[in-house]
Amino acid sequence: MLPGGCDIHAAFDSPTGLIYPAMDTGNLTLRTNSTAHEILVDPKTGRARGVAFVDSVTHKSLEAKAKVVVVGASTLESARLLLLSKSPQHPNGIGNSSDHVGHNFCEHLMGPGVTGLVKELVGKEHGIEDGRPGGFYVPRFRNLSDKQPGFLRGYGFEGNSGKSIFPDSTDRPGFGKQYKKEVRDYAGAFINMGGFGEVLPRYENAVSIDPDVKDAWGIPVLKFDYKFGDNEKKMAEDMAVTAKEMFEAAGIEVIGVDKELLTEGWSIHELGTSRMGSDPKTSVLNQFQQSHDVKNLFVVDGSSHVNASCQNPTWTIMALAWRSCDHLADELKKGNL
Amino acid sequence: MTRREMLGATAAALVLPLLEARPLAALTRYNFAARVFTPAEFALVDELSDIIIPTDEVSPGAREARVAGEIDRRLADALDPEQVKRWKDGLRAVEDLSREMNGTTFLKSTPEQRVAVLTKMASTEDETPGSRRRRRANPSSSIGGFYRQLKGATTRAYYTSKIGIHNDQHYKGNVFQTGEYAGLDPT
Ligand SMILES: Cc1cc2nc3c(=O)[nH]c(=O)nc-3n(C[C@H](O)[C@H](O)[C@H](O)COP(=O)(O)OP(=O)(O)OC[C@H]3O[C@@H](n4cnc5c(N)ncnc54)[C@H](O)[C@@H]3O)c2cc1C
């Protein structure tokens, strides 16, 4: 997928698959350039009554009234919005009687992996290998039937191989005829894979409101207290060792092993700041991503994930949002909200 | 490149006959379309790219694939204005190095002298094979950094050109298969 979505609407993206169809119902008003900074509370009931926002072009402050507030600003921005929404009824931020909003921030572990050369493929002519939808995938195998001494949970491998429209051999050294020949000969002869692991959700990994720094609209930004722990480091070591072992067992010449963990935040799969659970003391949302504290407040994004597991998150985010919306529609019909 | 442009380019690549070797006059005409490079800079990039990827027995080189024009186009569309400056500084540094080594400009040097300049520039290249992260290395402002940038941009432009894709790589993806299966038989 290219940035900006698919021009010809052949691939799924939110505008194509969700927003335009929702507009077609005639029941959606889209207000763009609107930066929400507070969920407003009805002082009598403690329930959400709307949202305060800034028009990001005119900088005007505005309010929108609502029967139900559904937040989907992403794992980080939703936490920020909840924490910013302080009121006498919700002094810790709305929906935050558990003190769990912003906590258990997690994501994925990446970096360690292996690159190999399949000698038999050097100098081979192009075939039609490029029509494949993607690379290869090794699902999680650690801590399923075995028990790893060094770490909990596990990781999968994502990899790539084969010739493609743009040769994968262009980082051959040098220049000139020799370089050109090497690019040609080695194209499609490389194979690589990298680990994709779970960063454990831990209470102490958290985001909170920065007391000093504000954004362009004067809204306080988030501060991060987030570090990989021992589990992540041990898991990363295992990724590198195991990746190499797998390639060697497959008869691939290993030409490089990456051992280093990419830095915290690299995976750009932020999750877990308003976790879901059945106990209102240790979680923020119920199974329908509905606030335990404020029944007409929902958070339908990556915030609700209790852990990152080792899979890409978006389909799960969307599936949960869908379920939450069905529940919401039901509750509205029953007059419960 | 937007997806639409890319689709357009690929479709065109499939129907157009292969490019004939172009005389220099055509290049000069092409030169006037440069949006970022001056004619002198353009000529320098054109020559540098053709040394990095020259014509060989399989396929034409970077000059014929109009690599310098593509680099100019990408720079003109770049979001980061610093990029243009880095290129202009880099090209000036190449000229300085040429004067220092050969006592004259890059284009007035002999072919051997030009290769010597590039060899010097390339001597800082990181040759650790197989690191999946190498291409993310920050291009620094040094001459070695500019060499990586130049080689990277040349490579990218060449192997996304019709000549690179078809004449050199013999790419077979996205062809309408009428007869026998044209793919790889893994057995
Ligand atoms: C480069 C990149 C590649 C990725 N690749 C994959 C992948 O291959 N597979 C996968 O599963 N995941 C991938 N992800 C992760 C995926 O994009 C996210 O997990 C997912 O988009 C999160 O969905 P969300 O609904 O939680 O938040 P978002 O999709 O971020 O939506 C939040 C929306 O809220 C808006 N918003 C935020 N704050 C405010 C505010 N104060 N007021 C009003 N509006 C606001 C934002 O503008 C945004 O439109 C990738 C992420 C990145 C950055």
List chain A pLDDT tens, one digit each, 337 residues: 345 567 787 888 888 888 989 999 999 999 999 999 999 999 999 999 999 999 999 999 999 999 999 999 999 999 999 999 999 999 999 999 999 999 999 999 999 999 999 999 899 887 776 656 578 999 999 999 999 999 999 999 999 988 888 998 998 999 999 999 999 999 989 999 999 999 999 999 999 999 999 999 999 999 999 999 999 999 999 999 999 999 999 999 999 999 999 999 999 999 999 999 999 999 999 999 999 999 999 999 999 999 999 999 999 999 999 999 999 999 999 999 9
Domain membership flag for residue B129: yes
From CA B143, how far away is CA B48, in angstroms rounded? Answer: 14
Q: Give CA–CA dist B22/B3, Å, rounded.
A: 29
**Mean pLDDT, chain B, whole residue set:** 79
pLDDT class for B160, splitting at 50, 70, 90?
Answer: very high
Question: Does residue B35 sit within a domain?
Answer: yes
In this predicted model, which residue has the larger pLDDT, B137 or A247?
A: A247
Which pLDDT belongs to residue B131? 45
User: For residue A135, which of A153, A113, A152, A150 has the smallest C-alpha distance?
Assistant: A113
Looking at residue B153, what is its pLDDT? 97
Of B115, B129, B183, the CB nearest to A129: B183
**pLDDT at position B51 over 60:** yes
**What is the predicted ipTM?**
0.79
Check whether B9 has a pLDDT greater than 50.
no
Q: Does residue B30 belong to the interface with chain A, where contact is any CB pair within 8 Å?
A: no
Distance A74 CA to ligand 1 centre (A): 6
Could you tell me which residues come within 8 angstroms of residue A10 by beta carbon, excluding any fewer than 6 positions away? Answer: none
User: Which region, left, alpha or beta, applies to residue B33 given φ > 0 means left and ψ of -120 to 50 means alpha?
Assistant: alpha
Q: Does a structural domain hold residue B32?
A: yes
Atom of ligand 1 nearest to the CA of A313: 11
Q: Which domain holds residue B92?
A: 20-167
Position of tokens 């290769």?
B115
State the pLDDT at residue A132: 61
Cα–Cα distance for residue pair A220/A208, rounded to 1 Å: 10
Of the CA atoms within 13 Å of residue A271, those in its CB half-sphere come to 25
pTM reported for the whole predicted model: 0.80
Nearest-angstrom CA–CA distance, A39 and A304? 18
CB contact under 8 A, A256 and B133: no
In a domain? residue B10: no
Q: Cα(A226) to centroid of ligand 1, in Å? A: 19
Kindly report, residue by residue over B79-125, the tens digit of the pLDDT.
Answer: 898 999 999 999 999 999 999 999 999 999 999 999 999 999 998 66
Distance, CA A9 to ligand 1 centroid (Å)?
19
A-B interface: how many C-beta pairs under 8 angstroms?
101
Specify the CATH superfamily of domain A31-103+274-334: FAD/NAD(P)-binding domain (3.50.50.60)
A270 CB within 6 A, ligand 1? no
Q: Is residue B173 part of a domain?
A: no
CA-based max dimension of chain A? 79
CA atoms within 13 A of residue B133's CA, in its CB half-sphere: 14
| pLDDT value for B182 | 63
Residue B144 has a pLDDT of 87
Domain segments of chain A: what residues?
A: 31-103+274-334, 108-202+228-258
A 190-229 residues with CB < 8 A to B: 192, 194
Residue B136 has pLDDT above 80, yes or no: no
- The predicted pLDDT at position A4 comes to 59
Rounded-to-integer distance, Cα B49 and Cα A175, Å: 10
Ligand 1 and A302: CB distance under 6 A: yes
DSSP strand pairing (A155-161 vs A136-138) = antiparallel
Count of the separate structural domains present in chain B: 1
Query: Residue B178: inside a domain, yes or no?
Result: no
d(CA A264, CA A243): 21
Atom of ligand 1 nearest to the CA of A81: 41
A141 three-class SS: coil
- Is B184 within 8 Å of A128 when comparing Cβ atoms? yes
The pLDDT, as a whole number, for residue B14 is: 36
pLDDT of res. B175: 65
Q: Is residue B117 part of a domain?
A: yes
**CA-A77 nearest atom, ligand 1:** 38
